[in-house]
Amino acid sequence: MADESDPKTVLDTLFATIENRRDELPEGSYTASLFTHEKGDNATLEKIGEEATEAILAAKDGDDEELLAESADLVYHLLVLLAMRGLSVDDLREELEGRF
Query: Can you give the CATH number for the domain in which 78 is found?
Result: 1.10.287.1080
Rounded mean pLDDT of 6-11?
80
Question: Residue 48 to residues 12, 41, 43, 95, 100: CA-CA distances in angstroms?
Answer: 20, 11, 9, 20, 26
Q: Please write the tens of the pLDDT for every residue from 51-100.
A: 999 999 999 999 999 999 999 999 999 999 999 999 999 999 999 999 99
Q: Tell me, what's the pLDDT at 26?
A: 96
Domain membership flag for residue 60: yes
Distance of CA 29 to the CA centre of its chain: 15
Residue type (1 letter), 97: E
Q: Is residue 6 over pLDDT 90?
A: no
Domain count, the chain: 1
Domain membership flag for residue 31: yes
Neighbours of 5 (CB within 10 A): 7
Record the pTM.
0.89
Residue 71 and residue 74: Cα distance in Å, rounded?
5
In the chain, % of residues over pLDDT 90: 86
Q: Check residues 25 and 7 and name the one with the higher pLDDT.
A: 25
